[in-house]
Structure 1
Amino acid sequence: MKFFDVNSILRESVKKLKPYEIKKFPFKIKLDANESPYPVKPCDIALDIPVLLNRYPDPDATGLRKALAGKLKINYRNIIAGNGSDELIYYLILTFGGPVVYPVPTFAMYGIIAQCVGVERLEVALDENFDIDFNKMKNLIISKKPHIVFISSPNNPTGNTFSKDKILSIVETARKKSAIVVIDEAYQPFSSKRGFLPFVKDFENLIILRTLSKIGLAGLRVGYLIGNERILQEINKVRLPYNLDSLSQYLAEHALKNFYSNIKEFIKKTVKERQRIYRELSRINKIKVYPSEANFIFFKVKESKKICNALSKKGILIRDLSPALKDSLRVTVGTKQENDKFLKELKNILKRL
């Protein structure tokens, strides 16, 4: 059979990509993916799930959008639901094109999806305190005229929120240059700071990106955009039909209506444990730990890769951030028992190094 040269028809931007791999390791305690540690089964949300699997789902996810709108106290027409945040990031870049600007380090999918679509990526390094370098960001927006600016606040993987005044100044600068600003608030439920939802009414070019994944419903893959209805209508032009399945729609809607008190309790326990882990890590001389407003903690330690591997051998998974961030690790906040085990094993490993 004649060899088929698939490379001859690949787009150049795809040739340079590598598949996004989620490495699988045996584990007892999983603290590497920023998930909620508290189990939720479909029967916890609804005993009866009257979903007809022979029918396509609601193409507009109207019931879910109305449930979200009720929680947020906004009009459901200001919401688009998607199959996780990743799909919505893809739609944003597909709709508005590039260049795309974002600070680094941050959530990898802004850059990966921009490369998939084939638009220019412009990265602005955070300063030594992991805050936005406002002058560099502002000058880049003015000189390069990007179509989209992505800002994750609280930021992944550093866990910090960015200055409200800096972000609003960026939104205003972008507005003058006809650019969209997307503030990714995936970790907002864990933050002590107010999010940017109240400012959507003041800035037509401002879009908020949120998700149900971090608060206990990662298996449903439900993300949503909040923004000006006229802007969302343009994004809807590229949204695939039936992009969110019936089971995810039904369970997410009913979780918001009937299970939300449990979700709030998960968040409360996570914040309490985050504060405790931070205090414990702060007492360890070999570790530099950073304050977090998310459901994870970022810290620096020498020989981070060796420490990560040693924890993995004990069945505890955390995230090694090298080589992008030297000597850096990220640990998701687990249950009290999981966190105790992590801290104990980490201290034992550090004693041996």
Structure 2
Amino acid sequence: MTVSLDDLPLRDDLRGQQPYGAPQAPLPVALNVNENTHPIPDEVADDIADSVALALRDVNRYPDREFTALREGFADYLGHGIQPEQVWAANGSNEVLQHILQAFAGPGRTAFGFAPTYSMYALLTRGVGATYVSGERGPAFSLSPESAAEQVAAARPDVVFLCAPNNPTGTPMENDVIEAVYEASEGIVIVDEAYREFAPRDAPSALQLLPGRPRLVVSRTMSKAFAFAGARVGYLAADPAVIDALRLVRLPYHLSALTQAAASAALRHADTMLGMVDEIVEQRDRISATLEALGYTVYPTWSNFVLFGGVEDTRATWQALYDRGVLIRDVGIPGHLRVTAGTEEETSAFLDALAAIGR
């Protein structure tokens, strides 16, 4: 007897929904999910391997539930006076955000984000039984302090998501927007800085806004700049009281000893790992300049990807690139496609293929 999803006692609010997913295909050039396509340097990989091997000797025991050493490493990396008791980590920033929603959202509560933005915000919100509300952005996907504050005040959400820079558009977000939203809200305000390391070095981080704002949370990930997407490590900084709230909802020993060891080792080589960022930014800017020269609409980006518009047939262009061994992303914005900045060779392959296709 074959059983379908419709035959199961699934929650009513999940019926008819689609799971998160991006196309996966064994193509030579995969630039669709904003990975860091640069491999981890050998000396760093060796240290990570040694650290994991050492942790394996005690893998019969549960890991440090408070991941003390890792929190200390993150606090040191973040700077801004962040202390270890202000740090939380989990298996990817998605789980970090899920913990926030489990603690502060849930049935009868709402979460809010400005569309278009990271699609997982809505899915994570739905997963905890809360309602997701979408606000609007201005021209070129911009967001002004006045408009953002007005929309949040009207919606009165329990949790607000601010993606800085924004995914999938790459749009920068200044701290004055974050301050305005915080003042307009009575709930938790999450600033998702997953792509922070690709922003200009002198651009202020939301981390500097944490003092005196106990409802503000700044989340980060090791997936992008640290080339750690396969390791699944995300983290946040917030008031220690927020960290106490997250302990109420996390699973026991949720961060494995092997994950803790690998992430701590990578953090010891932060300078080396972040050395790849400059090259990625160079390729990102090369993509932007070339796309503009080809006649596409290119948006400002502080991330490791570029959103471009003026695509007459997104499906046909996506397929034509696919047929040439290049995988990019259709993010659902009409007339637009998104491409991750890869290595110099990968970037050249994309640009050559796109130029060959034409608009």
State the Cα distance separating 1:318 from its structure 2 match: 0.5
Structure-1 residue corresponding to 2:54 = 50
Structure-1 residue corresponding to 2:67 = 61
Structure-2 residue corresponding to 1:12 = 12
Structure-1 residue corresponding to 2:230 = 219
Give the counterpart of 2:192 among 184, 187, 191. Answer: 184
Q: Is the 8 A contact 1:125 1:133 kept in 2?
A: no
2:89 aligned with 1:81: yes
Give the counterpart of 1:277 among 264, 287, 294. Answer: 287
Q: Which digits, 9 at most, give the CA deviation of each residue in 1:105-151, with x for residues without a partner?
A: 00111101111222111101211221125555433433332110000
Judge which range, 307-316 or 53-62, deviates more. 53-62
Q: How far apart, CA to CA, are the structure 1 residues paired with 2:182 and 2:101?
A: 17
Q: Which digits, 9 at most, give the CA deviation of each residue in 1:280-311, with x for residues without a partner?
A: 111112x1111210000110121122111111
- Secondary structure in 1 aligned to 2:54? coil
Give the counterpart of 1:299 among 302, 305, 308. Answer: 308
Which ranges in structure 1 are unaligned for 5 or more consecutive residues? none
Structure-1 residue corresponding to 2:330 = 320
Structure-2 residue corresponding to 1:30 = 30
Q: Is the 8 A contact 2:20 2:120 kept in 1?
A: no
Q: Is the 8 A contact 1:185 1:208 kept in 2?
A: yes
- Secondary structure in 2 aligned to 1:220? coil
Q: Which digits, 9 at most, give the CA deviation of each residue in 1:233-270, with x for residues without a partner?
A: 0121101111112222111101111x222212111111
- Secondary structure in 2 aligned to 1:282? helix
Structure-2 residue corresponding to 1:254 = 265
Give the counterpart of 1:267 among 267, 270, 277. Answer: 277
1:159/1:2 CA distance change after superposition, 3 Å: closer
Q: Which digits, 9 at most, give the CA deviation of each residue in 1:190-229, with x for residues without a partner?
A: 0012211011113111100100000111111000111000
1:276/1:179 CA distance change after superposition, 3 Å: same
Q: How far apart, CA to CA, are the structure 1 residues paired with 2:165 and 2:287?
A: 18
Q: How far apart, CA to CA, are the structure 1 residues paired with 2:5 and 2:290?
A: 56
Q: Which digits, 9 at most, give the CA deviation of each residue in 1:317-345, with x for residues without a partner?
A: 110123xx101111000001111111111
- Structure-2-length-normalised TM-score: 0.91
Q: What is the identity, as a one-letter code, of the residue corresponding to 1:260? A: A
Structure-1 residue corresponding to 2:77 = 71
Q: What is the identity, as a one-letter code, of the residue corresponding to 1:172? A: E
Q: How far apart, CA to CA, are the structure 2 residues paired with 1:234 and 1:242?
A: 16
1:284/1:22 CA distance change after superposition, 3 Å: closer
Judge which range, 56-65 or 27-36, deviates more. 56-65
Give the counterpart of 1:125 among 117, 136, 142. Answer: 136
Within a 5 Å distance, the mapping from 1:163-178 to structure 2 comes to: 163-174=174-185, 178=186
Q: Is the 8 A contact 1:305 1:327 kept in 2?
A: no
1:4/1:203 CA distance change after superposition, 3 Å: closer
- Secondary structure in 2 aligned to 1:123? strand
- Secondary structure in 2 aligned to 1:189? helix
Number of residues of Structure 1 aligned to a counterpart in Structure 2: 344
Structure-2 residue corresponding to 1:203 = 213
Q: How far apart, CA to CA, are the structure 2 residues paired with 1:45 and 1:340?
A: 32
Q: How far apart, CA to CA, are the structure 2 residues paired with 1:333 and 1:145?
A: 37
1:143/1:283 CA distance change after superposition, 3 Å: closer
1:127/1:46 CA distance change after superposition, 3 Å: same
Q: How far apart, CA to CA, are the structure 2 residues paired with 1:212 and 1:77?
A: 19
Q: Is the 8 A contact 1:320 1:328 kept in 2?
A: yes
Q: Is the 8 A contact 2:160 2:190 kept in 1?
A: yes
Q: How far apart, CA to CA, are the structure 2 residues paired with 1:3 and 1:233?
A: 42
